Structures are given as structure tokens and as C-alpha cells.
Structure 1
């Protein structure tokens, strides 16, 4: 099975992802609004809001790929940050002992800065480690379940030292996507300018990731009338799609066309592959 050729700029703007290094300063909403205007597309979205003063990995969906963000594996996130306490811990081991109390399954209420409902919810903290300590200021790293608020963790730690707050934060990875894969906003701006002013989309194409490259679900290929029917939102009989017999009820799968382009995300139900997110027949 041949891999798909790299999509054209038009195909990428229709449905692709961007792994961005969000800078400190602008809000996540301001960043996505800027990219939407810069690229001239109708939809740009993300999963995993960062505070304005936080930086780091932000996975962005462009065009139809906004509807695919929920299928991207972002279950774990890693951060580095700076915590400042009112009273200085005696030593880094003492600080680590307090960090250790936050490991495992915890209950958090989103901070007032968050836009989500302020209801207690459970999340998992896999690693919370003090890296350096100078007086009352500590450098730390945390590996957590998506949806964990590092600001709240820092506040909890601070209670053992009179008070504490997070003063700096950077997200270094989301799922399998590390900061080494990130694109900088100024570079994206330059690439978009080169495309608009000189018709050269090479740099921009290298920055935008074809939708199917970030998805890890099983992928089946179809062609001809089946692809046309799927593009109209019609379900396909499992018996008519090679490889579908091994799928279990409720399982999600990618459906690609003959050339390898992603056509839809489908779910097994009632002996059929029912398209839930349709990108189009190609």
C-alpha cells in the first residue's frame, strides 16, 4: 500500500494540523484567531488551552481537522515550571516530599482563570519532581493526565510553606508530540507571506501536518462507489470493506481513499461502518 503523496497547500488548508510553540503573552484564543486570519481559513481550533503567560506545545486543527482533534492522542502532558513559596523549603528533599503527596489520582477544581465549569474533577499526576531550589523559588517538572491544572498543583504545594504560586510554565510535550516538533509563530507568518506574495507554498506545506499523520486509529482504504457513498455520509457494510471484519462494535477507524487521503472517521455499529466525521470524497 503506497503512502499518500504530500498534499497540496489547498488540501492542507482544507484539513491539517499545526504543532505550534505558543509564545508567552497572547491568549490561546488570540493565537488561533491570528492563525485563522493569516491562513484565510474559516475554522481553526485547539485542545489544551494554555494561559497567556504560559508557552509551549499547542496542537492546532485547521479547517475540517478541527473536528478531528478529539481523535489525536493527547492523554498525557509534560510541563516545566517555576514555583515560588512564601517560606523557603529547608531543602529540595523536603520540597519533593510535599510534591509526592500530589502523585496518583487527585481531585481538582479548575482555577478562576479557567473558562470551564468550576466543578471538582479527578485527574492523575504521574510525575511531579523538583529539579532545582534556590531560596523560595523552585524549578519543577510534571507529567500529568490531560486536564490537570498545574497552577492548582502549585497552590496545593504552597500550603505547606505558608503560600505558593506558579510564576512560570512551559508545556514541553502533548502525547507523543514534543517541543522539538513545534513551529514558531514568526516562522509561520513568514511562510504564509511567501505563499501569498510569491506563490511559493513550500515552507508552509512543510509546517502543516496532513490530518492522517497525527491519528493512530486503524486505517482502511476504499475506492470508487464506496468512496463516493461515504462522502455523502452513507454507511458502508463491513463485508464490503477489506479488513473491516476484524473491527469490534463501537470501534473507531480512519477511512482513506485510493490515494491515501483521509475521507472520514467512522464507527462500527450494526454491521456497518457509519461515518461520524466526513471530510469529503477524494
Structure 2
């Protein structure tokens, strides 16, 4: 069975589910999933798990991420991005003309840190069992509860006028669960001119970088990252001997010294002598507790 991770550079237009469908077709395999949805208008890194590799996606979903985005100041939309309908009139032109780069940078700075962010109403978050975006499309006034997220840094890379409005290019480092659209909305509110997102590109998910990603149409078996190599980027590695690998796959108790770089309680990638991933474990008192096990790959030893 094919197994591994593949890093895909999603183009603008298709949904994340569409990219998964392309991977399934090109690999001839149903068991393909992704870690972290990108909106259709967004581009950039999508981490796909293939076969048993889908088990590793659990460890990717919660990773910090980096984005490059363009925020347009001067108009709000009901989706907080360019795909939505405008809300109300454009901002007062005098307010827009009075804005300067320092005011914009200061407003963005207020969004940095550990904050309670209200997600965009048009999102996949479920409200009473139904997606928020479905409720909005049905005409409901959806108000989502704030969520605690961490925005580590927002760097302004360019500011320019776009007609009567302002376009602000930013680089953002943030925790999983952060809505970049919501940052655009909140900055627009802080400046009293409205704001929405007009471009978004995800450049990093944890240790994985979009520079190493491929186009969806280039996916093939040879482009899969082996599970052992992928897990070694996700977690500290504990090298197993051949006998230990067999015993762990049979569910026997294994005594291991945790890697020096491992923090207490964090997952460890247990890798066999051939580089194959045997299990993700937690090591307590030198005893390996299996969190997720992986079968022996074809041709493995």
C-alpha cells in the first residue's frame, strides 16, 4: 500500500477537498486526507497524508503556521474576504485619506499576542450541528464565540493605495485555528474604515515549507515523503533495533531511553533500522506507550 505525506502547493480556485480528490485519482487510492483547510481563494501549502500516512495528520493539524496576505482597508464584506458581498458603503474618504503607515502598523500590532479571536461567520465551524456558513447562507445572523489563538508576529511588508482604499501586505506567524480573514476584519474595525482579505498564501505548516511543495497535477507515488522521514520532522526520533521493531509491532512492552531533545510527555517517532516508522509513542519511566502504530511497509525488514 502507498503511504507517506505529500506537500502540495494549492493554486487559487479549487477547494482543499478538490486537491484531495486529485491526489486520490493520481495515486489510485481512496485513503488520502489533509491537515488544515485552505479557502478556495487561498494558495499555498497543503499537507496531505496518504494511506497510513493519514495517521500522522493528527500531529500536523495543531502546528503553528505562517502566511503571506494582503488586507484591503476601506470596505468590509460578509465573508471577511474578497469573495463576499460588501457590507454597507465604502469608508469615509476623509478617514481613508488621513490614514498613515504608522496608524496601520499600530492597528495590526494590537492583533499580536495571545488573543480571543471571533472567527469569521462564514466558516466551517459547527453551530448546533450545522456549519456556520450554511446558516449564514440561509439568512441567519450567526455570531460565533471567541477562541483563544496566538498570533506571534505580523510583519508589514508593503503598504500602497489601491484606488480610494489601502492594500497592506503582511507576513503572519500564528497558531493553528487562527483566521487570517478575521485579522483583516478586526484591523478594519480598529481603524474605523472596514477591512477584508484579498489574497492569502500559506507558506509553512510546522516544519514543512511551501518551497518543497509540488503542484496537484504532479502528485505521483515517487513524490511521497516516507513516513519515517516525515515523522522525524514532526517529533524527536527514537531509533529502534530490528528486534525492538518487531516487538513493538506485536504490541509488546518496550523499554526505551527518550531522545535528549524530547520534552516530557511529548510524542516520539520510533523508527526502525530501515528508516520505517514503527509507531508514535510517549515514553514514561523508560516505557514506550504506543499512541499510533504503523504496519511494516512492503519490502520492509
3-state secondary structure, aligned to 2:36: coil
Larger fraction in helix: 1
Match of 1:123 in 2: 149
Find out whether 1:218 has 2:254 as its counterpart: no
Does 1:114 pair with 2:123? Answer: yes
For residues 264 and 62 of structure 2, what CA distance do their matches in structure 1 show? 24
Question: Do the aligned partners of 1:107 and 1:123 also contact (CA within 8 Å) in 2?
Answer: yes
The within-5 A match list for 1:186-265 is 186-188=217-219, 192=220, 204-205=221-222, 207-215=223-231, 216-224=235-243, 226-232=244-250, 234-238=251-255, 241=256, 243-244=257-258, 250-265=265-280
1:146 is matched with which residue? 176
How far 1:25 sits from its partner (Å)? 0.8
After superposition, give the CA deviation of every residue in 1:137-171 in whole Å (9 maximum; x if it has no partner): 22222111121100001000111232111111111
Give the match's secondary structure for 1:237. Answer: coil
Distance 1:142 1:245, change over 3 A: closer
Tell me the TM-score normalized by structure 2. 0.75
Counterpart secondary structure, 1:65: helix
Deviates more, 1:132-141 or 1:42-51: 132-141
Distance verdict in 2 for CA 1:42–1:270, change over 3 Å: farther
1:105 alignment partner in structure 2 = 114
Does residue 91 of structure 1 match 2:93?
Answer: no
Tell me the distance in 1 between the aligned counterparts of 2:6 and 2:259.
34
CA distance in 1, matches of 2:65, 2:264: 30
Tell me by how many angstroms 1:16 deviates. 0.6
Equivalents in 2 of 1:98, 1:245: separation in Å? 43
**1:132 lines up with 2:150 in the alignment:** no
Q: 1:235·1:273 contact (CA, 8 Å) conserved in 2?
A: no
Unaligned 5+ runs, structure 1: 1-9, 193-203
Pairwise CA distance, 1:110: 2.3
For structure 2, list consecutive stretches of 5 or more residues without a partner in the other structure: 75-90, 127-143
Which moved further from structure 2: 132-141 or 61-70? 132-141
Which fold has the larger relative contact order, with Cα–Cα distance below 8 Å and residues 6 or more apart in sequence?
A: 2
Paired residues in the alignment total 250
After superposing the two structures, state which structure 1 stretch, 31-40 or 94-103, moved more. 31-40
> For the residues of structure 2 that align with 1:170 and 1:237, how far apart are their CA atoms?
43
Cα RMSD of the aligned pairs, angstroms, is 2.4
